[in-house]
Amino acid sequence: MKLKLLAATLVLASGALFAQTIEVTGAWVRTTVKGQQATGAFMNITAREAVRLVGVSSPVAGVVEVHEMKMEGDVMKMRAVPSLDLPAGQTVQLKPGGYHVMMMDLKQALPKGSMVPLTLVFKDAKGTESKLELKLPVSVVAPGSMPGMAHGMTNHSAHDVVAPQGEPKQ
């Protein structure tokens, strides 16, 4: 019995230590209205050692997945990804229009100012899984953003747009 208790304690401790090597900043969930079935969660994740984000869950949603949005030809497509690589020492952004956490089959509206529990599941190179429990604020825009400056709400016509070759677009 003592051996089982010690083994369980070591497993829990190693998971807690592993989670401390991952930093999550700027995390938030986009607000919803009554009847809305989906929303996104966004954050910056930095891992000291290379790991993969292999799962996400929340009690406020029936389905929670990591999604990727990308252009395929002239069409923006969104799809679930089975895992997301987090290279050692590099910050990976989960943001609108890119990788993000998609929360579907919402069980309730998520009003501005509320908090949403979210669990991230990571797997290291040895196959060891760990969980990181978070509470994310619900907001219309990312915390620290100026109202009216959310993507799609700003007139970008005065900005220079640079083509991939370094030449300004006409």
Query: Region 62-87: what's the mean pLDDT?
Result: 94
What CATH architecture applies to the domain 2-139? Sandwich (2.60)
Contact indicator for 59, 114 with CB cutoff of 8 Å: no
Q: Would the pLDDT of 165 be above 50?
A: no
CA 124 – CA 92 distance, rounded (Å): 16
Contact 92, 25 (CB under 8 A): no
pLDDT of residue 100 exceeding 70: yes
pLDDT at position 142: 86
In angstroms, the CA 38 to CA 106 distance is 6
- Cβ–Cβ < 8 Å for 119, 136: no
Read off the pTM.
Answer: 0.73
CA dist 159 and 148 (Å) reads 17
Q: Using an 8 Å Cβ cutoff, are 139 and 96 in contact? A: no
pLDDT band per the 50, 70, 90 thresholds, residue 143: confident
123/87 Cα distance (integer angstroms): 12
* Phi/psi of residue 16, nearest 5 degrees: -65, -40
What's the rounded mean pLDDT across residues 65-82?
92
pLDDT score at 20: 57
Domain positions in the chain: 2-139
